[in-house]
Amino acid sequence: MKIFNTLTRKKEDFQPLEEGKVKMYVCGPTVYNLIHIGNARPMICFDTARRYLEYKGYDVNYVSNFTDVDDKIIKKAIEEGVSSEEISQRYIEECKKDMEGMNIKPATTHPLATQEIDGMIDMISTLIDKGYAYAVNGTVYYRTRKFDGYGKLSKKNIDDLEAGHRDIKVAGESEKEDPLDFVLWKPKKEGEPYWESPWGQGRPGWHIECSVMSKKYLADEIDIHAGGEDLIFPHHENEIAQSEAANGVPFSKYWMHNAFLNIDNKKMSKSLGNFFTVRDISKEYDLQVLRFFMLSAHYRNPINFSHDLMESAKNGLDRIITAVTNLNHLIENAKIEAITSEEQTQLDSVKDIFDKFEAAMDDDFNTADAIAAVFELVKFANTNATESSSKEYAEGLKKKLLTLTDILGLKVEKKEEMLDADIDALIAERQQARKDKNFARADEIRDTLLAQGIVLEDTREGVRWKRA
């Protein structure tokens, strides 16, 4: 199987460091808000890569952090008059709900930056001892020029970078030895969370987090490090500088980066008013549709989000769901139990479709082509499974279809639908909980309904609901 490695800009054969095992780190979100659909892209793409690696028999140790100390979190906490911890805890919980909706498997470990400060202090101390870092007035900087390979991931030339930074030097940032040096530890400011350190009270820089969590939960040297392409520079370049200088071994063998998601061909941004959270989308669609939409493009190509494309994703996913529903119907009503030899031959021929699916996924996780193979199987099932098929044959086809959709993380078996009366009863209970000011229970009911694909709308005439 081949993976495109950002480090070499080539598709390379995948050879894990340890046979049968994959150590994979994916940079997670900064938790100060509901995650947006751009953040959902690396989550979905790399979760799918993980699922495929597991299908191939690898034991995958998948680590993805939450950045829970950051300027944006502190700003939000000040705006709301609550602690940074309250903000990050709240949005970690919300993020986990969205992940569940998108059927993203929980990581083997989801470390939190604030719980790993000791490890960060250790690594920063090592970097100082080895001459790669220095402290000035409570700030610790990384001595960028000291690290020989700086720029190897982003293919940036250190002298060009220097030219770009000259204005900073002019602006009087004289504390640094060199404008290229970046922060490992910063002194506390009034009202900010802080920890004790050998350099005084303060908090870590962003890049050191991932170097430390990756080392602690995986190893000094890992197989795959992944994230969105905006992280190549400076985040991942700095992670490499830190980890390789501190540990003395290559950091990650393969670097994977997803391209960006745009909206109506424009960059998504709050100021342009074209900004969607995953939660916004969940009000209109089952999040499986969002997942299917993301996988319909190769992860290294930009993807454009629009209403029309979501509608066609919904239609595509529905075709698969309908095929499974039909198979279920045939299984329930089959008149013959055992598979015939003719049917067995047909079922065996599905191997060709599996080969196509695997060839696509082996080619740097080409999910777009893999989906084409799934549709081929859907067509095969629709054509070949009939009222006169045996139960075993229909079951065999369903199993094969679910094997493929499960690798893509798509849930295609229709849930038992909640009865209207049960929905109405829950809504009445929610209204009562709100009257009683029991907002926790009211929210819980809304989430329960949402998980069943029931969307609530508060209108002047009362609460309306619809199936997403």
389 binds, among ligand AMP, Zn ion, none (CB under 5 to 8 A by kind): none
The H or E element spanning position 108 is none
CA 360 – CA 368 distance, rounded (Å): 8
- Residue 29 within binding range of ligand AMP, rule CB under 6 A: yes
Q: Which is nearer to Zn ion, 69 or 339 (CB)?
A: 69
The H or E element spanning position 289 is helix 287-295
- Residue 38 within binding range of ligand AMP, rule CB under 6 A: yes
The H or E element spanning position 343 is helix 341-349
The H or E element spanning position 184 is strand 182-187
- 118-177 residues near ligand AMP, rule: CB under 6 A: none
Min dist. Cβ of residue 117 to Zn ion (A):
16
Nearest C-alpha neighbor of 455 from the set 429, 418, 416: 418
CA 407 – CA 391 distance, rounded (Å): 24
Min dist. Cβ of residue 39 to ligand AMP (A):
4
361 binds, among Zn ion, ligand AMP, none (CB under 5 to 8 A by kind): none
Contact track, ligand AMP, 170-209, x by CB under 6 A: ----------------------------------------
CA dihedral 191, 117, 96, 43 (to 10 degrees): 110
Which residues are CB-contacts of 424 (< 8 A; sequence separation ≥ 6)? Answer: none
Q: Are 238 and 102 in contact (CB under 8 A)?
A: no
210 binds, among Zn ion, ligand AMP, none (CB under 5 to 8 A by kind): Zn ion
Among 6, 30, 238, 243, binds ligand AMP (CB under 6 A): 30
Q: Are 39 and 29 in contact (CB under 8 A)?
A: yes
Contact track, ligand AMP, 258-297, x by CB under 6 A: x-xx------x-----------------------------
Min dist. Cβ of residue 23 to ligand AMP (A):
18
Q: Which is nearer to ligand AMP, 153 or 261 (CB)?
A: 261
253 binds, among ligand AMP, Zn ion, none (CB under 5 to 8 A by kind): none
Strand segments (E) across 275-398: 303-305
- 7-36 residues near Zn ion, rule: CB under 5 A: 27
CA 344 – CA 238 distance, rounded (Å): 55
Give the Cβ contact number of residue 424 at 10 Å.
12
- Residue 210 within binding range of Zn ion, rule CB under 5 A: yes
- 41-80 residues near ligand AMP, rule: CB under 6 A: 41-42
3-state percent breakdown (helix, strand, coil) of the chain, nearest 5:
50, 20, 30
**Contacting residues toward ligand AMP, per CB under 6 A:** 27, 29-30, 38-39, 41-42, 227-228, 230-231, 258, 260-261, 268
**Contacting residues toward Zn ion, per CB under 5 A:** 27, 210
